[in-house]
Amino acid sequence: MDKRISKVALIGKFRSGETAEAVRLIADYLERRGLAVFIEQDTGVSLGEHGWRVLPLDEIGKASDLAVVLGGDGTMLAAARALAPSGVALVGVNRGRLGFLTDIASAGMLDSLGRLLDGEYRIEHRFLLHTEVRRQGDLLVKTDAVNDVVLAKGGLGRMIEFSVRVDGEFIYSQRSDGIIVATPTGSTAYALSANGPILHPSVRGFAMVPLCPHALSNRPIVLGHEAEVEITLAPPYEAVVHVDGQLHLDVHGEDHIRIRRSDHEVTLLHLPDYSYFGMLREKLHWSELPKEH
């Protein structure tokens, strides 16, 4: 980003009264600075009556220089998937719990946004995973994932069986609760709880992490960013494909899930003092002393 930020869109956590109030505070602040302000459509509903221009999410990327997302990581994930094709930069104000992606604290948010608008920021690009699900050659769905694509057992609660190929080469057949394919961004999400590796955002690769495999020798694997993964569910099993934990699709035996790096990236803005490792220390409670009982 080498142009001045003059048009800012605000996207808030859905139906959150506290977030709506924060959106109003930021919108007023931006107007006082002489900036054009757009409010995302669903966010506008939460605000009630207001005088700002409302835009649907799919139009925000074309109209804005910057999108400010207020909420938790879930709110940021949905916004990032929708806005990645436009290349518009995003910054997150944490109104949720962990906030791996929303690194501006609610306390002092106006001061932090003021610094960004004054040009004090670092740009970071995060790649996405493009996913296609096919059945007998027919395309069922195609979408991008910021965090991860997960093949998981369905409602019956039993293990599933599937095969995995990378760049056309057979890797293994597996019996397990499923498998996670995670970007570096998603390596601190579901994949982390499944004992997957933490991948620094600069790593040009993604991880395949088994979910409770029957064979304990099945371990996480990190692949290069140009790899293409194909997962084929074995009949007669049924399962569910989850994208960022927000999009879901039922799949059946012999359905194919193809995953590769997306052509789109998410552009994030951070304050100059942002530290990825500092964020990990805070969110994962590293270096804390044991509590006394």
Q: What is the pLDDT of residues 228-284, one digit of tens each?
A: 999 999 999 999 999 999 999 999 999 999 999 999 999 999 999 999 999 999 889
Long-range contacts of 101-104 (CB under 8 A, 24+ apart): 101/73, 101/76, 101/77, 101/185, 101/268, 102/69, 102/70, 102/71, 102/72, 102/73, 102/75, 102/76, 103/270, 103/271, 103/274, 103/279, 104/271
73 is catalytic: yes
Question: What does the block give as tokens for 130?
Answer: 């493009």
In the chain the first and final C-alpha atoms are separated, in Å, by: 51
pLDDT of residue 89 exceeding 80, the answer is yes
What are the domain boundaries of the chain? Answer: 7-121+271-283, 129-263
- Residue 144 pLDDT grade (very low, low, confident, very high; cuts 50, 70, 90): very high
Given this model, what pLDDT does residue 135 score? 96
The CA distance from 62 to 77, in Å, is 19
Q: What is the layout of strands, in order, in the sheet containing 205-211?
A: 221-224, 205-211, 178-182, 148-153, 238-243, 247-252
- Residue 95 pLDDT grade (very low, low, confident, very high; cuts 50, 70, 90): confident
- Does residue 76 sit in helix, strand or coil? helix
Region 97-119: what's the mean pLDDT?
90
Residue in the structure block whose two tokens are 């599933």: 160
CATH classification number, 7-121+271-283, choose in 3.30.70.260, 3.50.50.60, 3.40.50.10330, 3.40.1010.20: 3.40.50.10330
Region 132-143: what's the mean pLDDT?
97
Given this model, what pLDDT does residue 33 score? 96
Q: Which residue of the set 2, 58, 65, 73 is catalytic?
A: 73
Query: Where does residue 262 fall: left (phi above 0), alpha (psi -120 to 50 degrees), or beta otherwise?
Result: beta
Statement: 129-263 belongs to CATH 2.60.200.30: yes
User: Helix 17-32 vs helix 109-117: angle between axes, to the nearest 10 degrees?
Assistant: 40
Neighbours of 230 (CB within 10 A): 20
pLDDT of residue 165 exceeding 60, the answer is yes
List Cα–Cα distances, 260 to 146, 171, 190, 242, 253, in angstroms: 12, 16, 19, 16, 21
